[in-house]
Every structure is written in C-alpha cells, then in structure tokens.
Structure 1
Amino acid sequence: MQNWFDAVHQIDALSDLASFAYANPTFTFPKLSDTDHVLVAEQMAHPLIKSTQRVSNDFALSGKGRLGLVTGSNMWGKSTFLRTIGINLVLAQMGAPVCARKFELSLVQLFTSMRTQDNLEENVSSFYAELKRLKQLLDLLQQGEPIFYMLDEILKGTNSEDRHKGALSLIDQLIKENCRGLISTHDIQLSALSKDQPNIQNMNFNSSIVDDEIIFDYKLSLAPCGSFNASKLMEKMGIIKK
C-alpha cells in the first residue's frame, strides 16, 4: 500500500506541474547546463505579479564566486527582484516552466536570508536571527555543494560602521567559495569593491522625480546606485518639511 500511496503522490505532483504549465502558456521551460555556476535569463519576471503589471529584466550571473551587489534606495524593487530570481530557480529545478523568455541554469542549492525576525520566546533579536542565518550559510559552504544565495538588506539591524565592516568580511569570504548570489544593501560604499574585485557586479534600479512624484521603472541597471529617494519619501509623508 505504501507504494500505491507514493505513486498517487507522484501523479498528483506531476498533475499540478502540468496544470501550472497549461495555465501559463507564455512561460518557458528552462535549459539545464552541464557547466557549474550558470544562470542566464532573458525577460525574466515574477510569476505571481499580473502579466499586465510585470516588468521583465535580463539577468546573468555565471561563474564561481560571482556576486551581484544590488544597491538602491527604498521601494526600488530590490527585494522583489531577489524573489523573482529565487522563485524562478525553484520552479526550474522542480521541472516547471519559468516566467522568462529564456532561462538557462546549472543545478544549485538555494539559500536565502530574507525577513529574519526576532523571537521573544528564545530571546533572539532580529539582528541576532540574521547572524544565525548567515552562520548557516557559511557552515553550508563547507559541504562543497554549489550554492546560490540571496541576502536581502544585509546586517540592517546594526549601526552603519559595524554593518559596513561585517559586510566587507562576509563578501570577502563568499567570493572565494563554491557559490554565487546576490546581496542587496543600502550601503553604497560597498559598490566600490568592484574596482578591485572582478567577481563583484554592481546592480541597481533607477527612479525619477516628475511633477514632484517619484516614478519607478523597475528596470535593472548594471551600475552602482547614483540617486536616492528617502528624503523625498519622508517629505511626501510630512516627516521632513519643505
């Protein structure tokens, strides 16, 4: 009977995958690369955003030790972009089509540090929870499997000096290991690392101010962040007076 139940579960899973593919005819089945550390996507978007509202981006991050440093101000779409890559990687590795025109990847173990929270019962602050998560990543790297990591708003729970120091040390370790991935941060100074580290690729999203309104295009740019909008957002909310 156990074999029967296993067969039913497998048919159920395959049926769901088939339904997902049927419901999304514009999605593409990914191509699996025989080379390690490959990820190339064309017109990739988040599958849970309505097709009329999606903003697609081309993206590539291939090669051992490669790190995409996503800088930018608030509401630019950094976290959504990380989730876009993550959910498409999950879909691709489970045999489903992805929300992209083209998607080529090598098999990886996905690791994320996003939305870390405090825990009153365990006396754990949100910052310490993030540190524990990062320690899990470093321990996982010692097992030798290729890893694709996504770290959102790295070390956000501490002061700017300690955050910068900790981020520098972590990045220095990651670019030497059997992994690659993305780190989003408000620490613009980190973008200078790409001058001496060819494994680091700067990325950002742009915004513009038109008629006193902030306009976001959610298009990826391969450069450090060059503008900020936090002051304008606080001004619009009445926190900063004109």
Structure 2
Amino acid sequence: MKNKFNLGEVFTITLLCLTTFSILLLFKDKVEGWYFGAALFSIIVLIFIYNNYIKRKRNKSSDYINNNLESINQKKRDFNTISKLFNLLNSKHKETNIIDDQTFNDLDMEKVFSKLDYTLSTPGEQSLYSILRTPLYDSFKYEDRKTLINLFQQDSSTRNKLQSFLYELGKQYKGDILELIYTTSDLNKHKKFLYNFMFVLSCLSLISIGFLKQYSVMFIIIIYSINMSIHYKANKNILSQVISITYLSKVLSCAKNISNMKNENLTYYNDIINTNIEKCNVILKNSRNISKAEGIDILGDYFNVFFLSQVRSYYNIIGDIEDQREYLKEIYSIIGEIDSIISISIYRNLIKDYVEPRFIDKPCFLEAKDLRNPLIENTIPNDFMVNNNGIVITGSNMAGKSTFLKTLGINSVLAHTICTCLAKDYKTSYFNIISSISPSDDITKGKSYYLAEAEAVLRIIDSLNDKVSTLCIIDEIFRGTNPLERTSASLEILRYIINKNAIPVVATHDLEIAELVGNQYSCYYFSEDVDEENGLKFDYKIKKGISPTRNAIKLLKYLKYPSIITENADERIRHLLES
C-alpha cells in the first residue's frame, strides 16, 4: 500500500499536540515544570511531523519515478546544454581517444543517448553524455563502473533513495551552472565596497528615525531610491549567475543528503563528497540565502531592494566560489556520475536481453553473437568475428550494409563506456572507435562531397597508433569520385590501414574492391530478393562471400520506369560483362 501524506494528517497530529497542550494548561498548578514539558512535547511532535513529511515526500517521488519511466525518457533534450560538460573537459585536457564529433554523429549516438537517458538532473544528463563520448581503457576504472551499475540494478532500495534526492535536485532550465563553476568570474571589488557602504547607509537611515524624527523619512526615501536603481541595474548583469547559484545550492544539498546515507557500497562516493563538502559549507549557507533573497513576498522584496540583500549576497558568495572552485567541480562530477550510472542500470533492467562485454588481452579481435541495434525495434541479430583481419561488406542498396556498420559501431561504443552490449556474447580487444559513414559536402565552404570524404578518411589514418587498436568503420569509401580512381585509392588505403594495428570494416557497392583487396580481408555480403510485382524483400542477415546480386535495375522496373530505359540498361550491363 502506498504511503500518502496530506493536510488531514498534519491537522490531526497538530490537533493532538494542541489538545495535550490544553490539558497541561488546565492542570498547570498541579504539574511542575509544565511549561518545559509542553514546549518539549510540541517540539517533538513538530519534528515528527516534519520528518514524516520529508520521508513520505521522498517515497512519493520514488513511486512517481518508477511509475513514469517512459515519460522521463521521452523528455525534451537540449544537446547544446547536455554536451557542455564534455566540451569543457575536452577543451582543457584534449583527450585523444574520445568518440569524435563525426563518429558520434555517424553512429546516431544522440538517439542512443536518448534511449539510455533516465537521468533526473542536469549534472546527470551531462555526465551520461560525457560517458558515451569517453571510452574507458583502464581495466580498474572499468570494473568499478561495472560494479556500480550492477549494484544499482540489484539494490532497488538504495537506487530509489538516491533518485529521491536527485528528483529534488531536478534540472536547471535557466542559467548555466557550468559557467559559474568552470569560468573565472570578474569580481569588481569597488562595486562590492559600494554595495556594502550603501547597506550601512540603509541601516543608518532607519536608526536616524530616533533623532531626526520626520526628517528621517527624506533620508530613507533618498537611500531607497539609490539602492533601487543599483539593485535593478546590477540584477541585469548577475541574474543568470544568481539563478545558477540557487541551483548550486540544490546540488550541494543533494550531495549532503547522499553523504548522510549509511551504505557501505557508497563509501567511495561519500568519502569524496565529505572531503569536498566541508570546504563548501559557507557556500551552501550563503547560496541558500541568495535563493531566498527575492521573490518570497512583497515585503521581502522591499527589504531586498532597500538593503541590497541579493547583490551583496552575490558578491560575498562569488568570492567563495572562486576559492573553492575545484571542490565544487568534484561534487558536481560525483552527483552527475551517480545519476548517470543509475540511468544505465535502469536501461539494463528495461531491455533485459543484454550482455556484459569481455575484454581480452589481444589486439585487433572482436567476436559477437546475435549482435543487435538498440535503435531498431525487432532488429535482426547477426554474428560477427574479426581476428587481425579486415572486413569488406558488399550488397545492394537497402540490403543492410550501413545499418550493420552502425550496429557494430554503437555496440563497440557501449561496450567501452557503459559495460553493456546488445548481444548474446561479446568478446573484444580495447579499441579506439572512429568512422566515416556520413561525410557531407558544404557549399558555404566550397567543400565537395569527395573532399569531405577524403578529409574523413585522413582523419582515420591520423588516428592510428600502436598503443590501442583502432576499429575503423567506413561506408561507401570514396563514393564521390570516378570508379577508376575510387578503386585504386580505396585499395591502397585499405592495405595501409590493415598494417597499422587496426580493423577496417568497409561497406562498398564496388565488387572489384572486394575481389582485389587481398587475403588480409574477409568478404561478407547482404542480399535481397527483388520481385517486379512485389518489390524488395530483405533478410538483413550477413553472409560469407561477395554479393552475387544486383538490384538497381530491378528496382527501377518495380517503380515502373519506362521499359526502354530498363531494357537498354540491362543490355548495356550484358555488353560490359562480356567485354
């Protein structure tokens, strides 16, 4: 039975408190120290009411989360905000083995992110995005992440309690907390002095009532007018950061709540939070004050303007934020990591049919059984294996080549980041993952499609290294140029890549590339049946060998192209094959 908390229960407990108080009042002559007893009893009851309210509120939020996972997952997402943390960290440290922008776009990873995203907070969203862009190659860190995912999968009580705190934190829809804690603020000490000086004058104007009498009114009006002008001018410049400070207060409160949980499995997180939160207690206290400074009520707003409460609080706290910036970053990172790991555990529980990858101490190896694409409902599974060799995949249009390349790439990313693959079995080396699937031309930069392709492939070549094997995924290599040069350049590039600690997996329409690439590559294909009456039928199963079929002309016939076009095209093909 669900716990429900309502005003009726509060009223009943309060009434009980008042009744007891009244009885004590009636017998006050006979009860020694009744004042103390009544006060103590009232405090105990109020504490009980408050604690019960908080507990049931959190239980209610936990029930809401568990019953509304679909709506949480289908929320609107702003990837400009979601990607900010990753972009900030990458711009500072320049990681070499990240999932770069083109690969992330090629593999539709924003859609994959949306599938995985059950986060409840802004740091959680940003952390999950960073996780998907940053493969782990450290086996100890990898095992730690996998252990936490499994913990949150199995321990629903701990997961629910953490989610209740994260639900209270929520998303930041205005302001930019990352700008607050990652960007150095320009603190104007002269303004800070001016605002404190005007505060002193505000106090003096009130004190002047005692000796200036009616003349003090003019003094108060002048000070109030000046401070009102200062307040609204300053507020325009600091409003965004004030909003972010308010959200920072919620982040710190969330961290404190988590650190108070007595759970030995969270010792690692709690130790980090406790170490850093001690340095930020002043910020937590002052940030609460600034969040209360405006918008409480009309009277409160008058006091806020008259004493410049918000502006002075801002300048007091912004200096503390500057001093404790590294501690704040650490706390923000931990809150985000907890939320993102919980999100991954929920995704696992919902899909159920997944496997944890097994990493082996061997270069250029990948073996998957019943590999599936997470973005496709009722997807067709395929087996796949490479062992120090490359793969060339041929097949007709729409037969499944590009989808398979994306399936391979997505699962490799998930294996290296969230310890999860959509397969029945998955064994792999550690890979740097890079692709060229959808390079685009840019007429505004005078860039042709072929130039975009050439740059994308060069980017792959430049990424090759001896430390970590590279999984190179290339779709329709050099489709933007003539057949003669395409075949010649493609063959040389594939021969170069295969000897550089890499696995190239290449899809192409050019059967000639498959025939000439050499014994360092294995050939696979996707096939279809084309019926001029019923159209195309695909089984989407990968097969060993080179594609024996073509479907382009048959597809034109199915679409009712003029017969003279299709017949002459067939005749031309026959002549070319005979010659």
Question: Do the two structures share a fold, i.e. TM-score over 0.5?
Answer: yes
> Which residue of the other structure, out of 67, 77, 88, is the alignment partner of 2:411?
88
Moved more, 83-92 or 204-213: 204-213
What does the per-residue CA deviation read over 1:185-214, in whole Å, with 9 as the maximum and x for residues that have no partner? 1110112235xx322000101112357332
Give the corresponding residue for 2:306. none
Letter in 2 for 1:99: L
Task: Provide the identity percentage.
Answer: 26
Q: Count matched residues.
A: 236
> Which residue of the other structure, out of 549, 554, 569, is the alignment partner of 1:232?
554
What does the per-residue CA deviation read over 1:48-91, in whole Å, with 9 as the maximum and x for residues that have no partner? 111xx21111100122xx11000111110000000000000011
Give the corresponding residue for 2:387. 62
Aligned 8 A contact 2:360 2:429 in 1: yes
Q: Assess, with a 3 A threshold, how the Cα gap between structure 1 residues 55 and 117 changes in structure 2: closer, same or farther.
A: same
The answer to whether the aligner puts 1:214 opposite 2:575 as a matched pair is no
Where in structure 2 are there 5+ consecutive unaligned residues? 1-327, 567-579
Give the corresponding residue for 1:3. 330
Aligned 8 A contact 1:30 1:98 in 2: yes
The answer to whether the aligner puts 1:43 opposite 2:366 as a matched pair is no
Give the corresponding residue for 1:198. 519
Letter in 1 for 2:401: K
What does the per-residue CA deviation read over 1:120-176, in whole Å, with 9 as the maximum and x for residues that have no partner? 222111110110111111111256531001000110011111111111111121121
> Which residue of the other structure, out of 436, 448, 457, is the alignment partner of 1:113?
436
Letter in 2 for 1:107: Y
Aligned 8 A contact 2:514 2:546 in 1: yes
> The residue matched to 1:215 in structure 2 has which SS?
strand
Aligned 8 A contact 1:231 1:240 in 2: no
Moved more, 7-16 or 202-211: 202-211
Flag the structure with higher helix content: 2
Aligned 8 A contact 1:193 1:200 in 2: no
Q: Quick one: distance in 2 between partners of 1:237 and 1:204?
A: 25
TM-score, with structure 1 as normaliser: 0.92
TM-score, with structure 2 as normaliser: 0.40
Letter in 2 for 1:203: Y
Relative contact order (C-alpha < 8 Å, sep 6+): which is higher?
1
> Which residue of the other structure, out of 337, 341, 360, is the alignment partner of 1:33?
360
For the pair shown, which has the larger CA radius of gyration, 1 or 2?
A: 2
Q: Quick one: distance in 2 between partners of 1:211 and 1:119?
A: 38
Where in structure 1 are there 5+ consecutive unaligned residues? none
The answer to whether the aligner puts 1:168 opposite 2:495 as a matched pair is no
Flag the structure with higher strand content: 1
Alignment of 1:128-147 (within 5 A): 128-142=451-465, 144-147=467-470
Moved more, 221-230 or 185-194: 185-194
Aligned 8 A contact 1:21 1:96 in 2: no
Q: Quick one: distance in 1 between partners of 2:330 and 2:538?
A: 53
